[in-house]
Structure 1
Amino acid sequence: MSTTTDTVEPATVGLDADALGRLDAAIQNDIDAGQNFGASIIVARGGQIAHRKTFGTVAPDRPAAREDRYLLMSMTKSFVAALTLKAIDEGRFQLDTRVDDLVPGFGVNGKQRATVRHLLTHTAGLPFALVPPGLPIDKVGDLAAKTQVINGLQAEYIPGTRSVYTSAVGYDLLGQALVNTDPARRGFRQIMQEDLFDPLGMNDTSIGIDPDDSRRVPASATETNSTPMTPLLINACNTLFTGDAEFPAGNAFSTIDDVYRFTQLYRGRGATDGFRALSPALFDYADRNHTGALTNDGWIFETEPRGMDPFPAHFSLLGGYVRGEGHVFTPAGVTASPTAFAAVGGGSTSFLIDYERDLTYIFLSAGFFTGLPHLERVSRLNDLALATVN
């Protein structure tokens, strides 16, 4: 692979050193305020990394390092979306293919109309759920068992009429669809490894990871951001996301350099360094707001108590958000270009690609900053990264 992770001087690619310093200071301020423990970032422009930095610690007495392997949480969805679109380019199914045609048994209880496009855009009628109701927690990494439980769920709305962020259940079904339509009859982890990670040179990325991997960043939360549910969430991430676990919606582990390699695939409209995963035609169609004026109803339980306007869904087909138009809350950042794409993972990770400015910004952190506050942090830091462009 020729994708370089070396660093150039910021000025050579039109980035302002003082503004980069302000971005660094904001991240350090969050750490000092007890919002998270540590972080690793990359700022790149024109396909060249101009700034990288590590902050704080990722575990007790363990400073953050470039080689750390972070749990990406829902940033994993972009990996799954990329291979779902690749399968469409290959003619295995279409965006409007019914989910039941790919995952037999799904089309019951009001979910009959749900399509691949609905799963990609969180509009398939499924609930916001970290674990499907009825699935034992120790089966969270068992894709076949999870699929069976999801198939039996009752639709919470008519597919296509609302957008409710499905933390886990929707993209897990896309993972099962990839397995069910794979000509080589491979498992999900093998498909991801051979069809995406290996071609991109993402040698430190995997679905699941050995719990005693010395570079694994353990799930954690600061005292400031702990809730009654935090211990359960952290324990699940640290004990269930093993090397055998298949959780397409959120258990990829990766280094910041490998995440950068993936972002260059999207920056290249589906191709990078001789590897083409998606056609430019399909990528351009995917990088749009596919939820129209729908709001992101998965967060109503947080926006309403705080008196916030519901924020627009603005889901693309790429496993994340597009900036879109208007002065609205968006994880991409208020100042991002309308076509800018943002992926967000749980309470800890994100990346932004602003195509008009040719800017890529990646943020991986240790210490969950969960819920809507993490999306607000992502938006704030993305705006500071965008402010580095001269």
Structure 2
Amino acid sequence: MGNSSMDAGRLGELERVVRADVQSGRYFGAAIKIARGGETVLDLAVGHADEAGTHEIRTDTVFSVFSITKAFVNVLVLRAIELGRFALTTPMVDIVPEFAGRPRDRATIFHFLTHTTGMPGVWEPVPGLLLEDLEESVAAVVAHVHGAVEPGTRCDYAPMAGHVLLGEVLRRTDPAGRPIGRILREDLWDPLGMTDTNLGILPHMRDRHAVPEMRGVLPITSRSRTSPGDYGLYTAERNEAVWAGSASTTRDLQRFMEMLRRGGSLDDVRILSPRMIELARTVWTGDMPNELYRTVALRNGDAVPPAHLGLGFNVRGEGIFTTQLGTLTSPSTFGNYGAGTGLVWVDPASDVSFVGLSAGLLTQADNIARYQRLSDMVAAAVI
């Protein structure tokens, strides 16, 4: 098996742990896809998409991936920098002039990618706002989310506001003037053959969609004009929620992560340069904690971990602390996650890519504990 060799016993143990989790009701089900050297070594589907156990999870189940959506936007922002449309050092206000006012007007694209804009991490700028149209989200963020500290002095993970503006940057600098959904589709998902990934649930994805059951863990509702319920945003056919609105499969996300693992290209399609990926998986936040997780850690009785943010990616970095990316993975491991549900990472040292998606949201602390355990088990299977 050469480069793709992994310990079958260890991978079997990982499957056993996931089945036991599902059996105990910790979550309803999961799909996990692991590759080494580009060769899939585990393609797992366990349990159900719903608490009632009526929809079985399959390897092609479509999941709402929440903040993994940010990874798609981040990659296209990095690509736009490579194409000379703006720079890491460009102030946001140069592209979105209405984003004026101190101290936020000193925040650059670099600050947005590293969650160091100086703005507080808000989930929604106004309670109950409809967030499906980018234009309305931009107006709400500009009006209601102001700088609290000087950019670069604090790391405050932005669940929503930062990526609203990064999505708007892509839209405003697009030579063809396309809407954000088309930019993502034509510049990223189509070239990578990600046929089941979209901002919204397309007709061909609908019968495979694991409709998210929030279980009270998200502090907001996400309504839509076209789909009913408190979380209609996640079942609507279309949205422009560039921070949380994507749906995808383990297959599509594996293709995305393999592109990153291979230095920015897959099947002769180049999305990023190797140099940009090297920069993106470098820790730029020093010893700063991530304010969102400071609270989670303190509530949980854990030591507060460093934020370890790269350019749009979470990075494993040095040290032993509680992290979804695992304690056995190499310091260069980098990836993204979605609230209570999903995690993707690449470990460049072992050539492993990991994709985990689950149904039945977990709290932040429980989700971190779950994925730390699974990531460690994956790392321990590398031989």
The alignment's TM-score, normalised by the length of structure 2, stands at 0.93
SS in 2 for 1:304: helix
Q: Does 1:202 align with 2:194?
A: yes
Partner of 1:351, secondary structure, is: strand
Distance 1:270 1:203, change over 3 A: same
Contact 1:207–1:246 (Cα < 8 Å) also in 2: yes
- Provide the rounded CA distance (Å) in 1 between the counterparts of 2:265 and 2:218: 40
Could you say if the C-alpha distance between residues 79 and 302 of structure 1 is closer, same or farther in structure 2, counting changes exceeding 3 Å?
Answer: same
Tell me if 1:295 matches 2:289: yes
For 1:93 and 1:350, the matched residues in 2 are separated by: 29
2:163 match: secondary structure: helix
Measure how far apart 1:174 and its partner are: 0.5
Once the two structures are superposed, the pairs formed by residues 169-208 of structure 1 within 5 Å of their partners are 169-208=161-200
The whole-number CA distance in structure 1 between the counterparts of 2:372 and 2:173 is 37
Q: Which amino acid aligns with 2:184?
A: M
Return the offset for 1:110: 2.3
Change (3 A) 1:104 1:14: same
1:230 Cα deviation from its structure 2 partner: 7.0
Q: Which residue number corresponds to residue 382 of structure 1?
A: 375
Equivalent residue, structure 1, for 2:110: 117
- Give the conservation status (yes or no) of the 8 Å contact 1:178–1:188: yes
Out of 23, 27, 42, the residue aligned to residue 36 of structure 1 is 27
Give the match for residue 363 of structure 1.
356
TM-score, length-scaled by structure 1: 0.91
- Separation in 1 of the partners of 2:361 and 2:330? 28
In 2, distance between residues paired with 1:182 and 1:228?
A: 36
Q: CA RMSD in A?
A: 2.0
1:192 alignment partner, SS class: helix
Which residue of the partner structure matches residue 279 of structure 1?
Answer: 273
- 8 Å contact 1:37–1:56 — kept in the other structure? yes
C-alpha distance after superposition, 1:100-151 (max 9, x if no partner): 111121121420111111111111122222222x2643x2112111111111
Distance 1:176 1:230, change over 3 A: closer
Q: Which position in structure 1 is the counterpart of 2:231?
A: 237
Contact kept, 8 Å, 1:320 with 1:344, in 2: the verdict is no
Q: Which runs of 5+ in 2 are unaligned?
A: 224-228
The 1:36/1:230 distance shift into structure 2, 3 A limit, reads farther
Cα distance in 1 between the residues matched to 2:345 and 2:287: 22
Could you tell me whether the CA contact under 8 Å between 1:321 and 1:331 is conserved in 2?
no
- Contact 2:302/2:322 (<8 A) preserved: no
Number of aligned positions between the proteins = 374
Amino acid at match of 1:57: H
Where in structure 1 do 4 or more consecutive aligned residues deviate above 3 Å?
226-241
| Corresponding residue number in structure 2 for 1:82 | 75
1:192–1:229 distance in 2 versus 1, CA, 3 Å:
closer
8 Å Cα contact 2:128-2:222 kept in structure 1: no
1:3 matched to which residue of 2?
Answer: none
Work out whether 1:345 is the aligned partner of 2:311.
no
1:71 aligns with 2:54: no
CA distance in 1, matches of 2:272, 2:340: 29
CA contact 2:233–2:239 (8 Å) conserved in 1: no
- Secondary structure of 1:283's counterpart equals helix
CA distance in 2, matches of 1:202, 1:213: 16
1:280 and 1:146 mapped to 2: Cα distance? 33
Give aligned-pair identity as a percent: 33
Determine the C-alpha separation between the residues in 1 that align with 2:247 and 2:380.
29
Q: Shift of residue 282 of structure 1? A: 1.6
Contact 1:288 1:316 in 2 (8 A): yes
Shift in alpha-carbon separation, 1:164–1:147, aligned structure 2, 3 A: same
Q: Deviations over 1:246-294 (max 9, x none)?
A: 1111111111111111011100111111111111222211110011111
Q: Secondary structure at the match of 2:60?
A: coil
Q: Aligned residue for 1:51?
A: 42
Q: Distance in 2 between matches of 1:229 and 1:261?
A: 28
Q: How far apart are the structure 2 equivalents of 1:106 and 1:28?
A: 48
Q: Is the 8 A contact 1:95 1:115 kept in 2?
A: yes
Residue type of the alignment partner of 1:100:
V
Structure 1: runs of 5 or more not aligned: 1-9
2:329 alignment partner, SS class: coil
